[in-house]
Structure 1
Amino acid sequence: MNDVWTTVVGTVITDPIKRTTQAGDEVLGFRVASNSRRQDRATGDWIDGDTLYASVSCWRRLVSGVGASLMKGDPVIVYGRARTSEYTTKEGVGRSGLEITATAVGPDLSRCQATMVRPRREPAPTEPDPADSELVDAVDDLAEHGVDDARDPEPTPVG
């Protein structure tokens, strides 16, 4: 099967909904609409073209980030693997739709502003690593036995 990767720039048209699969994995889904527009050169008016609708599913780390950040009406950029799904409605009518399994989702900063919240990193350890002192001792032992020091030598002046 060929993977088709795509980017859709549009608007979130449904509130994201988080579900849990039977296997226990979380998935967050929403729908996005993307309109094409062009300017009529004769009148200068903007004319709306066709609308692309897509269902988006977010897995793993995207679930919490998208769930905490996006809601219906937000301008969004979605990147991911696209495929069509075919189904039959309750009335027996055959339909098809575009589904995107997202690998990246973010706000469209040409149409909004965003504030980033980054997870805190663990502070650097304050105690020296015992392995580091063992390495220094090993290099010192080599030097005592006439082996060149493996540490960086003093720079030699040029000139």
Structure 2
Amino acid sequence: MYETYTTIIGTVVSEPRRRQTTTGEEVISFRVACNSRRIDKRSQEWIDGPTLYLTVSCWRRLLAGVGLAVAKGRPVIAHGQIKTNEYVTADGEKRSDLEMTASAVGLDLSRCVVTYQGTPGAAGHARVVEAVDRSTLDHAAPSAA
């Protein structure tokens, strides 16, 4: 089978949910919204493009770090295998959504500031000390130096 890997950059739009599967394995899942942005050449203002929503599922080694760092409203970068889940609702409606099984997740440091303290499993631990939303800061294209 061919596996499709991708990297997404977006904002967490749901509180991460930690649960156990029927086999006892733990997973943390959260929804992410990814917007493309472009500069309108006429108005010179930033315009949001369509939004992509997907569920990111984190297993095994990601549990500790994601559990401490990821929260609703935070900017994230996630990399992993992406697939479409197809299902039927209670009303009998066929639906589908995208899900990523993440192999790496991190905070998007272009949109927040964090302080790093140790690593999970070592003497210290990773903890978000400060997250500052930079979405309201200047979004102008970088100038040539």
- TM-score in terms of structure 2 length: 0.80
What is aligned with 2:18?
18
SS of match in other structure, 1:65? helix
2:114 matched to 1:120?
Answer: no
Distance in 2, matches of 1:96 and 1:22, equals 23
Query: Displacement, 1:91?
Result: 2.2
SS of match in other structure, 2:62? helix
What is aligned with 1:100?
100
Q: Give the number of equivalent residue pairs.
A: 121
Q: Which ranges in structure 2 are unaligned for 5 or more consecutive residues?
A: 125-145
2:28 matched to 1:28?
Answer: yes
Larger Rg over CA atoms: 1
Query: Displacement, 1:90?
Result: 2.1
Residues 52-67 of structure 1: pairs in structure 2 closer than 5 A: 52-67=52-67
Query: Displacement, 1:42?
Result: 0.7
Q: Which ranges in structure 1 are unaligned for 5 or more consecutive residues?
A: 122-159
What is aligned with 2:134?
none
SS of match in other structure, 2:68? helix
Which has the higher mean CA deviation after the structures are superposed, 39-48 or 4-13? Answer: 39-48
Distance in 1, matches of 2:89 and 2:11, equals 25
Distance in 1, matches of 2:24 and 2:91, equals 32
Residues 70-89 of structure 1: pairs in structure 2 closer than 5 A: 70-89=70-89
Query: Displacement, 1:11?
Result: 0.3
Distance in 1, matches of 2:68 and 2:47, equals 34
Query: Displacement, 1:120?
Result: 2.0
| Percent identity over paired residues | 53
Distance in 1, matches of 2:35 and 2:54, equals 12
SS of match in other structure, 1:68? helix
SS of match in other structure, 1:58? strand
Residues 32-43 of structure 1: pairs in structure 2 closer than 5 A: 32-43=32-43
Higher helix share: 1
Distance in 1, matches of 2:57 and 2:116, equals 22
Distance in 1, matches of 2:92 and 2:115, equals 46
